[in-house]
Amino acid sequence: MSGTPEHPHGQSPPYDHISTKTKNNPKIFKWIVKGIEVAPGEEVPVRRDINELVASEKEIDQDQVNLFLLGLKQFQERAENDPKSYFMMAGIHGLPERTTWDGETYQTGRFCAHTSILFPTWHRLYLSLFEKYLWDIINEIAGNYEDTNLKERYQKAAKIWRLPYWDPAKITDHKVYNGVSIPSLVTWPFRDVQDIDGKWKSIINPTYSYVYHTGDDKRINEMVTTEVDYSKLKTTARQPYATHIGTLSMWRDAPVDATKTEEWRAMQMYLNDRQPHQNQNNYHITEIFREDISFRQSVYDALIFNKKYTRMASTGFNKRQDDGGRARTEVSIEGIHNTIHNYTGGVGQMGDVPVAAFDPIFWFHHANIDRWCAIWEKLNPDAWWSKDDAKEQEDTADPDDDVHGPDDQGPGSKLYPFYETNAQAWTPDRMKESKLDFGYTYEDLSVSPEELKRNVGILYNGLAKDLRREPIKAALKDIYQEEAPEGQILFYDYCARVKYDKFALGGQAYTIHLFIGDFDSKDSKSWATAKAHLGSIFNFASPSPVNKPGGCENCKAKEKAGQIVVGSVSMTQAVIQGMQDPKLKKGVNDILKGEGVKAFFDKNFTSKLTTRDGKEVINVEKIMPAFEVEIFRRKGTIKAAKDNYDPPEYLDFESIWKKTAADCTPSCDCKV
C-alpha cells in the first residue's frame, strides 16, 4: 500500500495510532483500545446470540440488525489503504504484513497469538477494537436518518448495539439429533434494509462475504507471501467446492505425501488461483457440525472440567504436563476454536490464519470464543497464571525479538499491537487489574456461578441426555456388576488425546480425523461426515519463512523450537452409540467391562490426516516422530433424574491404549 491514507481526519497516521520501532521489525502500527464508553449508572449492553437477534420480532432488535448491515457494508467499502477500513482491521490477524504511508513502513499484520496462553486476552482486545469502530459507524448512520421519528428510533437501537456472537454448539433445531447450525443471516446473498431516507432497498449482504477491492496493485502484491498467493482472491468463501482441483496431476485421487513439502506449497498456490470468485457452501458447514457428535461435549468439558488457565487458553504442550502421573487430557478453548475455523472455512479464508479475519463470520465466531472464555473465567474467578506457569508451554521465545520476547507467555507480556495509552501496551495483567469491561457483557454472566454451571449443562451436556435414555441406562446397569449409587448412573468416560508437531508439514494446516468402526478409507472427502467419525483436531497453522525477514515472529519462534501441540476429543457418546451397533456391540460391551481393550482399539480405532481440501496425507510417521494418539478412561457417575444438570463426578483418567509414530513401519498397516 502506498500514498496518504484516506480517513475522516486527514492525518497520516491517524490521530489515535502511534508507532514504535523494534530491532527486528519496522514500526508497529499501534491501536488504542478502550472499548465502548458506558455512562455511570447505565446498564452495560450485552452481546447477543446472532440467531436470536435476527429472529426477534421486537422493533429495537430488528433496528439493530438493520443498522448492523448498513454499518458493516459501509465499513467494508472504506478504501483498503484507510487505516480505519475493514481490510486493515482484518489484516491485523495476518495479511497484509507491512503497510506504507507517506514513505514510512509499518508492521500492520502478522500479530499471531495462537498456540499461546495469550490467545484469549489478545483476541479480546482485537474484538473490542473491531466492535468500537463498527459501533461508531452504526451510530453515525443512525444520526443521519432524515425522518425525526426514525432517527430517534435508530439512535436508541444504535446505542445498545454490540457485536453478536455465533454459538455453533448450541442446538437451534430440536427436531433433529445434534441440531446445531450456521447463522441464517450469513447464508443470504442479499438483504433488505431501511436506508437513511426511510426507503427500503436490497443490498449485497455484508455478512455473506467480504469482496476485495480491485485496482490497487500495491495492495495486491502485499497479499502474496513467500509460501502462499492470496492476490487472486476476489471474495471470501466458506467451505468452497474444489471443482477444479482434479486438473492438477498431483491432486487426483492419490494421497499427498507428507515428505514432499513442495507439493503442499504448490497445492495451496493452485487452490487460491482456482478459487478467485465467491463460492459458498454454507449448508455443508451445518452438516459437518451436526455429524461431529463429540463437538458439543468437548465444549462442556472445556468449560466445566478444565481448571487451569494455561490449559483452557492454549493447545501448546510440554512433557511437564504429564508429570506426576496425571496426564493432560483437558480440552482447550483454543483447540475448539481451531475446529470451528476448519469446519467453517475448509479451503476458504476461515481455514487459513493470515486471511481468516476477512470472512465476516470470523467476528461472530470470535465473539463466541470470548463468551466461552468469559464463562470459564466466571466459573474460575481465582484462576490466572504466572511466568512460571507459562513454562508449561514450549520455550519458544526468541530473546532477540522485541515483539515476542523471552516473556511472550507470561501475564506481563505486551499484547501488540494493542495499546492502553500512547505509551503503554496492554498486558493480560493490566486487563485483569483495570477491571475494564470494554463496554459489553454477556447475558450468561448475569447469574450466579452455580446457576451458570447449570445453564452450561443445559446448553452443551449432550452426554447426559444420552446416558439417561432408558435403553442405555438398562444396558449400563447390566454390564456393571457393582451397584451404582442410589439415583445415579455409573459409566466410563473416554477421551482420545493427540500430540502432533504444529509445523511438521512446512507450517501448512491439516486435519486429524479420529474414527471408531468401519468407514471408507479410500474416500477422504467423506470422512468428516462418516458415521464412524469421532471428531477431528485442526492444526490451525500457516507457513512462515524461518531465517528470513517477515512472517509471524511467534510462529517462526515456535517452528524453530519444534512446537508440540495437544488436542483432545471426547469419545463417550461414540462408545454409547457403539453399544447399539451390531458390528461393535460385543467389543464395546467388553471394553466397558475392562476386557479386550487393546485388541478392540487395535482393530477399530483409526486416525487419518488430510489437507485442507480433504486429501489424505501419507507417510506422516516419517516427518512427524512426535505424533501420538492415546486413549484414556475414567469412571464417572451422573444423576439419573432427567431434570438434573449437575456435572458428572469423575475419578482421574487412566491410559488404556496408545499408538505412536514409532509403532508404524513400512510393512505394517498402521492406523495411527
Using the 8-state DSSP alphabet, how is residue 249 labeled? G
Helix (H) or strand (E) holding 442: strand 441-442
Listed range (72-76, 81-85, 327-331, 516-520) with the worst mean pLDDT? 327-331
Q: Is the pLDDT of residue 188 over 90?
A: yes
Give residue limits of the domains in the chain.
Answer: 461-663
Predicted confidence at residue 10, as pLDDT, reads: 33
Cell of 4: 496518504
Rounded to a whole number of angstroms, the CA Rg of the chain reads: 25
Buried b (16+ CB within 10 A) or exposed e, 580-616: ebeebeebbbebbeeeebeebbeebbbbbbbbbbbbb
Angle at 300 between CA 516 and CA 646, to 5 degrees: 115
Whether residue 96 has a cis bond before it, omega within 30° of 0: yes
Q: 505 pLDDT exceeds 70?
A: yes
> Where does the pLDDT of residue 331 fall: very low under 50, low under 70, confident under 90, or very high at 90 and above?
confident
Q: Residues near 410 by Cβ (< 8 Å), separated by ≥ 6?
A: 385, 386, 387, 390
For residue 48, is pLDDT > 80?
yes
Instruction: Give the model's pLDDT for residue 163.
Output: 99
What pLDDT does residue 492 have?
Answer: 93
Q: Worst-scoring range by mean pLDDT, 7-11, 218-222, 263-267, 637-641?
A: 7-11
The model's pLDDT over 408-443, given as tens digits with 9 standing for 90+, comes to 689 999 999 999 999 999 999 999 987 778 999 999
- 307-333 average pLDDT score: 72
Provide mean pLDDT across the span 271-291: 74
Q: What would the grid cell of residue 563 be?
A: 512446537
Helical packing angle, 295-304 and 361-379, nearest 10°: 40
Confidence of residue 661 (pLDDT cuts 50, 70, 90): confident
Q: What is the mean pLDDT of residues 170-190?
A: 92
Backbone angles phi, psi at 41, to 5 degrees: 90, -15
Query: Distance (Å, rounded) from C-alpha 543 to C-alpha 225?
Result: 9
Cell 495492495 locates to 219
H helix intervals, 78-179: 86-91, 119-142, 148-160
Give the pLDDT band (50/70/90) at residue 315: confident
Whether the predicted pLDDT of 666 surpasses 60: no
Residue 114 is predicted with a pLDDT of 85
Mean pLDDT of the chain, nearest integer: 83
User: Residue 261 pLDDT more than 90?
Assistant: no
> What pLDDT does residue 242 have?
55
Most confident of 287-296, 359-368, 380-389: 359-368
3-state SS class at 133 = helix
pLDDT one-digit tens code per residue, 465-493: 999 999 998 888 888 867 778 899 999 99
Residue 274 above 60 pLDDT? no
Residue 653 near residue 492 (C-beta atoms within 8 A): no
Cell numbers 467453517 correspond to what residue?
344
In the chain, % of residues over pLDDT 70:
78
CATH topology of domain 461-663: Hemocyanin; Chain: A, domain 2 (2.60.310)
Mean pLDDT across 628-648: 93
Q: Average pLDDT for residues 35-48, to the nearest whole number?
A: 96
**Residue in 514, 622, 507 with CA at minimum distance from that of residue 257:** 622
Is the per-residue pLDDT at 378 higher than 70?
yes
Task: Answer yes or no: is pLDDT of 276 > 70.
Answer: no
621: number of Cβ within 10 Å: 18
8 A C-beta contact, residue 210 and residue 236: yes
**252 pLDDT exceeds 60?**
no
Closest CA to 108 of 191, 259, 219: 219
Integer Cα distance of 228 and 598 in angstroms:
43
User: Is 398's pLDDT higher than 80?
Assistant: no
**The predicted structure's pLDDT at residue 565:** 84
Kindly state the helix (H) or strand (E) to which residue 587 belongs, with its residue range. helix 585-592
477's grid cell: 446397569
Give pLDDT, residue 251.
40
pLDDT confidence bin for 503, thresholds 50/70/90: confident
Plot region of 120 (φ>0 → left; ψ -120 to 50 → alpha; else → beta): alpha
Residue 222 · residue 232 · CB < 8 Å: no
Residue keyed to cell 472445556? 302
Banded pLDDT at 258 (limits 50, 70, 90): low
pLDDT surpasses 50 at 12: no
- What is d(CA 50, CA 64) in angstroms, rounded to the nearest whole number? 11
Global pTM? 0.88
Q: What is the pLDDT of residues 132-178, one digit of tens each?
A: 999 999 999 999 999 999 999 999 999 999 999 999 999 998 888 88
Asked if residue 667 has pLDDT above 50, the reply is no
List the grid coordinates of 332.
482447550
CB 303, CB 469: distance < 8 Å: no
Strands 564-570 and 488-501: antiparallel
Residue 663: predicted pLDDT = 73
Contacts of residue 634, defined as CB under 8 A and 6 or more positions apart, other chains included, come to 492, 493, 495, 650, 651, 652, 653, 654
Q: What are phi and psi of 52, to 5 degrees?
A: -70, -40
User: Residues 600, 575: contact at Cβ < 8 Å?
Assistant: no
Res 7: pLDDT: 33
Cα–chain-centroid distance for residue 387? 25
Q: Which triple of cell numbers denotes residue 38? A: 458506558
Q: Distance (Å, rounded) from C-alpha 144 to C-alpha 155?
A: 9
* pLDDT tens by residue, 201-251: 999 999 999 998 875 555 555 665 545 566 666 888 898 865 443 333 344
CA–CA dist 632, 495 (Å, integer): 5
